Amino acid sequence: MPATGTLLCIHRDPSQLSPLRDKGYGLITASNGSDGLRILMLNPVDAIVIEYYLGLLNGAVVADVVKQVMPHLPIVLIADNMELPAGTLKSVDVVVAKSDGPSCLLESIHSVLQNRCAPQPDGMVKDPAAHGHRKASLRGRATRSEASPFSEELWENIRNGILSF
Protein backbone atom coordinates (compact mmCIF):
# COMPACT_ATOMS: atom_id res chain seq x y z
CA MET A 1 0.00 0.00 0.00
CA PRO A 2 1.50 3.37 -0.96
CA ALA A 3 2.16 5.95 1.71
CA THR A 4 -0.04 8.98 1.92
CA GLY A 5 0.26 12.25 3.72
CA THR A 6 2.08 15.52 3.51
CA LEU A 7 5.32 15.92 5.42
CA LEU A 8 7.14 19.10 6.30
CA CYS A 9 10.82 18.17 6.02
CA ILE A 10 13.20 20.58 7.74
CA HIS A 11 16.69 19.42 6.83
CA ARG A 12 20.00 21.05 5.86
CA ASP A 13 19.88 19.03 2.62
CA PRO A 14 16.20 18.26 1.89
CA SER A 15 17.18 16.27 -1.22
CA GLN A 16 18.40 13.52 1.14
CA LEU A 17 14.75 12.90 2.01
CA SER A 18 13.68 12.18 -1.58
CA PRO A 19 13.07 8.49 -0.73
CA LEU A 20 10.00 9.71 1.17
CA ARG A 21 8.61 11.25 -2.03
CA ASP A 22 9.45 8.03 -3.89
CA LYS A 23 7.29 6.14 -1.38
CA GLY A 24 4.29 8.39 -1.98
CA TYR A 25 4.54 11.13 0.62
CA GLY A 26 4.01 14.72 -0.38
CA LEU A 27 6.98 16.80 0.75
CA ILE A 28 7.21 20.45 1.66
CA THR A 29 10.81 21.30 2.44
CA ALA A 30 12.83 23.89 4.32
CA SER A 31 16.56 23.98 4.94
CA ASN A 32 16.42 25.78 8.30
CA GLY A 33 14.15 26.07 11.32
CA SER A 34 12.94 29.63 10.71
CA ASP A 35 11.82 28.82 7.16
CA GLY A 36 10.23 25.61 8.40
CA LEU A 37 8.13 27.46 10.98
CA ARG A 38 7.02 30.03 8.38
CA ILE A 39 6.06 27.26 5.97
CA LEU A 40 4.14 25.45 8.71
CA MET A 41 2.05 28.57 9.35
CA LEU A 42 0.93 28.52 5.70
CA ASN A 43 0.59 24.81 4.89
CA PRO A 44 -1.32 21.99 6.56
CA VAL A 45 0.88 18.93 7.08
CA ASP A 46 0.38 15.49 8.58
CA ALA A 47 3.79 15.25 10.26
CA ILE A 48 7.17 16.93 10.49
CA VAL A 49 10.52 15.31 9.77
CA ILE A 50 13.26 17.47 11.21
CA GLU A 51 17.01 17.18 11.37
CA TYR A 52 18.50 17.91 14.79
CA TYR A 53 21.58 19.76 13.58
CA LEU A 54 20.18 22.72 11.67
CA GLY A 55 22.52 25.50 12.72
CA LEU A 56 21.14 28.50 14.59
CA LEU A 57 17.87 26.80 15.58
CA ASN A 58 18.38 23.12 16.27
CA GLY A 59 15.60 20.64 15.62
CA ALA A 60 14.71 20.34 19.31
CA VAL A 61 14.02 24.09 19.59
CA VAL A 62 11.85 24.03 16.46
CA ALA A 63 10.00 20.96 17.80
CA ASP A 64 9.34 22.75 21.10
CA VAL A 65 7.80 25.72 19.26
CA VAL A 66 5.65 23.45 17.08
CA LYS A 67 4.39 21.32 19.99
CA GLN A 68 3.33 24.39 21.96
CA VAL A 69 1.11 25.47 19.08
CA MET A 70 0.19 22.07 17.57
CA PRO A 71 0.63 19.48 20.32
CA HIS A 72 -0.83 16.59 18.30
CA LEU A 73 1.31 17.07 15.19
CA PRO A 74 3.76 14.14 15.01
CA ILE A 75 7.45 15.04 14.85
CA VAL A 76 10.21 12.67 13.74
CA LEU A 77 13.70 13.87 14.65
CA ILE A 78 16.71 12.74 12.62
CA ALA A 79 20.05 12.86 14.43
CA ASP A 80 23.62 11.97 13.51
CA ASN A 81 24.51 11.13 17.07
CA MET A 82 22.06 9.45 19.42
CA GLU A 83 23.65 11.16 22.46
CA LEU A 84 21.55 14.29 22.49
CA PRO A 85 21.37 16.94 25.19
CA ALA A 86 18.90 16.45 28.04
CA GLY A 87 15.44 17.69 27.17
CA THR A 88 15.85 17.15 23.44
CA LEU A 89 13.24 14.41 23.30
CA LYS A 90 10.44 16.18 25.19
CA SER A 91 8.77 17.51 22.04
CA VAL A 92 9.46 14.77 19.50
CA ASP A 93 7.55 11.55 18.94
CA VAL A 94 10.36 9.47 17.41
CA VAL A 95 14.14 9.82 17.04
CA VAL A 96 15.83 8.12 14.09
CA ALA A 97 19.59 7.85 13.69
CA LYS A 98 20.85 8.80 10.25
CA SER A 99 22.92 5.64 10.31
CA ASP A 100 19.72 3.56 10.48
CA GLY A 101 18.96 4.48 6.89
CA PRO A 102 15.84 5.42 4.97
CA SER A 103 13.91 2.23 5.74
CA CYS A 104 13.93 3.00 9.47
CA LEU A 105 12.85 6.58 8.76
CA LEU A 106 10.00 5.35 6.56
CA GLU A 107 8.84 2.89 9.22
CA SER A 108 8.94 5.59 11.88
CA ILE A 109 6.91 8.04 9.79
CA HIS A 110 4.39 5.37 8.91
CA SER A 111 4.09 4.47 12.60
CA VAL A 112 3.47 8.02 13.85
CA LEU A 113 0.92 8.63 11.11
CA GLN A 114 -0.88 5.37 11.91
CA ASN A 115 -0.98 6.28 15.59
CA ARG A 116 -2.70 9.56 14.71
CA CYS A 117 -5.54 7.54 13.20
CA ALA A 118 -5.76 5.01 16.03
CA PRO A 119 -8.86 4.87 18.25
CA GLN A 120 -8.53 7.03 21.35
CA PRO A 121 -9.47 5.94 24.89
CA ASP A 122 -12.82 7.72 24.53
CA GLY A 123 -13.60 5.60 21.44
CA MET A 124 -13.15 8.49 19.02
CA VAL A 125 -10.83 8.25 16.01
CA LYS A 126 -8.55 11.13 15.19
CA ASP A 127 -9.46 12.44 11.75
CA PRO A 128 -6.32 12.99 9.67
CA ALA A 129 -8.38 15.11 7.28
CA ALA A 130 -9.02 17.57 10.10
CA HIS A 131 -5.47 18.84 9.80
CA GLY A 132 -6.65 21.45 7.33
CA HIS A 133 -8.03 23.40 10.28
CA ARG A 134 -4.53 23.85 11.67
CA LYS A 135 -3.69 26.43 9.05
CA ALA A 136 -6.32 28.86 10.25
CA SER A 137 -5.71 28.02 13.89
CA LEU A 138 -1.98 28.60 13.67
CA ARG A 139 -2.41 31.76 11.67
CA GLY A 140 -4.92 33.02 14.21
CA ARG A 141 -2.49 32.39 17.01
CA ALA A 142 0.24 34.14 15.10
CA THR A 143 -1.78 37.33 14.96
CA ARG A 144 -3.64 37.33 18.29
CA SER A 145 -1.15 37.69 21.11
CA GLU A 146 -3.74 37.07 23.85
CA ALA A 147 -4.43 33.54 22.50
CA SER A 148 -0.82 32.77 21.65
CA PRO A 149 1.72 30.98 23.82
CA PHE A 150 4.27 33.34 22.22
CA SER A 151 4.48 37.10 22.09
CA GLU A 152 3.57 39.01 18.94
CA GLU A 153 7.26 39.97 18.67
CA LEU A 154 8.37 36.32 18.70
CA TRP A 155 5.85 35.42 15.98
CA GLU A 156 7.05 38.38 13.92
CA ASN A 157 10.63 37.15 14.34
CA ILE A 158 9.59 33.65 13.24
CA ARG A 159 7.86 35.08 10.17
CA ASN A 160 10.90 37.19 9.33
CA GLY A 161 13.44 34.46 9.99
CA ILE A 162 14.98 36.26 12.96
CA LEU A 163 14.45 34.31 16.14
CA SER A 164 15.67 35.55 19.50
CA PHE A 165 15.55 33.45 22.64
CB 76 within 8 A of CB 37: no
Q: How many CB atoms lie within 10 A of CB 145?
A: 13
> Domain 6-160 classified CATH 3.40.50.2300?
yes
- Average pLDDT value over all residues in the chain: 77
Condensed to tens digits (0 to 9), the pLDDT of residues 110-152 reads 999 988 755 444 444 444 333 333 222 233 333 333 444 556 6
**Strands annotated E in the chain:** 6-10, 26-30, 47-51, 75-79, 94-97
* Domain layout of the chain by residue ranges: 6-160
Q: CB within 8 A of 152, min separation 6: which ones?
A: 143, 145
- For residue 50, give the DSSP letter: E
